[in-house]
Structure 1
Amino acid sequence: MSEVKFRGVIPAVITVFNEDGSFDWEGNKRLLDHLIKAGVHGLFILGSSGEFMHMSTTERKKFAEFVVEYVNKRVPVTVGTGSSSTAEVIELTMHAQEIGADAVGIITPYYWILSEEALYNHYASVAQAVDIPIIIYHYPSLTGQNLSASLVARLALDFPNILGIKDTIDNVAHLRELVLTVKSVKPEFAVLAGYEDHILNTLALGGDGIITAITNFAPELTVGLYNSFVAGDLDKSISLYQKIRVLNRIYDVDKPSIAAIKEACRLTGLDIQTYVRKPAVNASREVQRVVLQLLQEAGLECNLTNCSVAKDDIRVVAP
């Protein structure tokens, strides 16, 4: 039986920009080093938290080249190559393969709602054009596309390089069906949760881990939970999950949540700039305040240097 290639905690890595919107290469290096040192099991770049939707194709290629070269095989790198255009996905995926990425993550096409056969043909076209491992990225609340477990199983069976799914869906039944349906025909297929709410039940159901934005600023919690679960220490796993569930509220602090996540990184001590590309906006004072409170409520140590929010400005958010 083949081993699952993708497992554990894989951060959905943010992209660090300068205030003029250009790439902050040194800031990105600090972030990548921080995550690798924390013991993550891989990196997922140019996903939703990485602001791929705010970049040109040229910029996406340039950033992928930078990360693959800088990480230098210290951990596997998955490059987000999704687009609403199949041709562009193939172009970006071929590029990721050429530069030595370990895998690609391909979000379902968005804008038009596609039939199941159209979705199958989209992934089939990409899988046939490359050899690189493919992780399907399922995020129906943003794309409007729902992938059934049976369709995922069909793709996994038909194409040996389709090896996993990031299931960003607030429905544990869908995760359960992926585990039961897809792994029964392809045991090496990785089922990875996309929401931290489901990290524990995904593992308990027989899934393989999580691709998570919270890991950018709290890897000690997510990596610690995974490692303790694998070691059989369920009490520690549950204790860490109690902190993670508080941090899940960060996704509701601002829309989109990218600025709040970057603010959390800065408040927990990462030396990075928090600029987000438009049409998203930088964190307001109120967003900073709520993020700071969530971090402290979860027991994370915060660095208030250059923070415009005073400690006495924090009030409790109703549960």
Structure 2
Amino acid sequence: MATRQFLKGVVPVMVVPMHPGGSPDVEGIHRLVDFLVQAGVGGLWVLGSASEDINMSVKERLVVARETAAAARGRIPLVVGTGLTAIGDILDYADKLADLDLHGLHVLPYDLKMGDARLIHLVETLADRFPVPLWMYHNPKRGRPIPDNVIRAVKGHPNVGGIKIGGYNLSELTLTLMHRSDDFDVIGAGGGQFFQMLALGAEAHTTSEASVYPERFVELYDAFKAGRLDEARTRQFDMIRLSRSFPRTENGEYCAEEKYMLSLRGICGDAVNPLYRTLNDTEKTRLREILVESGFDWARR
């Protein structure tokens, strides 16, 4: 089996620019992709759980996938989400993207009652048919966990590319990273765990915050890879403090906060999916104050 090309560096969970009402903002998508590529990110995790993905129609998801690929123009690898539950629907969706140059398609199993044997069956059935490698996505807050024994059973499939492991269980994260090999990639999730996952052996990491201020995550990654571990750790702690200081809505996901920040950077508007709400004036004022205090000059405008 040929050695796979692994993801490396900062891989933003790409925020999806939208028009009021929730339809994809194509021009905003192109501006955001160009901005992230120029910032030095290592790839994009497209239509992830922090991208309002599950609340979009299939038609909207296809637009986002295609426009992201068009904007990227092969400059960075893309792992695109499926976001569906039925095997037939997932395969039909994958077929509609078969002409795109993708690094992979990611699958988050949503059936919480599914047993391990059925989960293995799902992964293998999809991998048999996908036009590009399947990436598993372990996110216990959103879907069915993918335990160690399932990873062990499917990681040898020639069209299973890797797993993105979310959550905050250090033992679980460590066990999962032990599966990393020449033909099976493992990456982490969450802006507060970048340094930790790099220390455990990951070569790439995803977070939606990197859609907004990728420069700081790239600086953290560069410091770590250069052996400046004290600097990298300090940057990680700073990122945790910054994130914890933001005003949070009842949305659950941070799409409203992130899109408002992107609007300050002139990349897209602050519209979100109709299921969510945008920030109110008080929240915007406080968030802007925090950003200025944290040294983001673009928040002063």
Q: Per chain length, whose mean CA-contact separation is higher, i.e. which structure has more relative contact order (CA < 8 Å, sep 6+)?
A: 2
- Show the counterpart of 1:129: 129
- Show the counterpart of 1:192: 187
Instruction: Work out whether 1:275 is the aligned partner of 2:274.
Output: no
How far, CA to CA, are the matches of 2:293 and 2:117 in structure 1?
46
Q: CA shift at 1:207, angstroms?
A: 1.7
Specify the SS of the correspondent of 1:193.
strand
Specify the SS of the correspondent of 2:24.
coil
- Show the counterpart of 1:28: 29
- Show the counterpart of 1:174: 172
Q: After alignment, is 133-142 or 280-289 more displaced?
A: 280-289
Which of 217, 220, 239 does residue 212 from structure 2 map onto?
217
One-letter code aligned to 2:172: H
Q: After alignment, is 20-29 or 198-207 more displaced?
A: 20-29
- TM-score normalised by length of structure 1: 0.86
Specify the SS of the correspondent of 1:97.
coil
Q: CA shift at 1:270, angstroms?
A: 3.2
Q: After alignment, is 232-241 or 116-125 more displaced?
A: 232-241
- Identical-pair percentage: 24
1:277-292 aligned at under 5 Å gives the runs 277-292=273-288
- Show the counterpart of 1:310: none
- Show the counterpart of 1:266: 263
* Aligned partners of 2:292 and 2:300 also within 8 Å: no
Task: Name the Cα RMSD after superposition.
Answer: 2.0
How far, CA to CA, are the matches of 1:81 and 1:210 in structure 2?
20
- Show the counterpart of 2:78: 77
* Aligned partners of 2:22 and 2:273 also within 8 Å: yes
Gaps of 5+ in 1: 306-319
Q: How many residues matched? A: 298
Q: After alignment, is 61-70 or 281-290 more displaced?
A: 281-290
Q: CA shift at 1:52, angstroms?
A: 1.6
One-letter code aligned to 2:175: E
Specify the SS of the correspondent of 2:106.
strand
Gaps of 5+ in 2: none
1:273-312 aligned at under 5 Å gives the runs 273-305=269-301
* Aligned partners of 1:7 and 1:190 also within 8 Å: no
How far, CA to CA, are the matches of 1:270 and 1:239 in structure 2?
29
- Show the counterpart of 1:202: 197
How far, CA to CA, are the matches of 1:150 and 1:252 in structure 2?
39
Q: CA shift at 1:292, angstroms?
A: 2.5
- Show the counterpart of 2:146: 147
* Aligned partners of 2:30 and 2:67 also within 8 Å: no
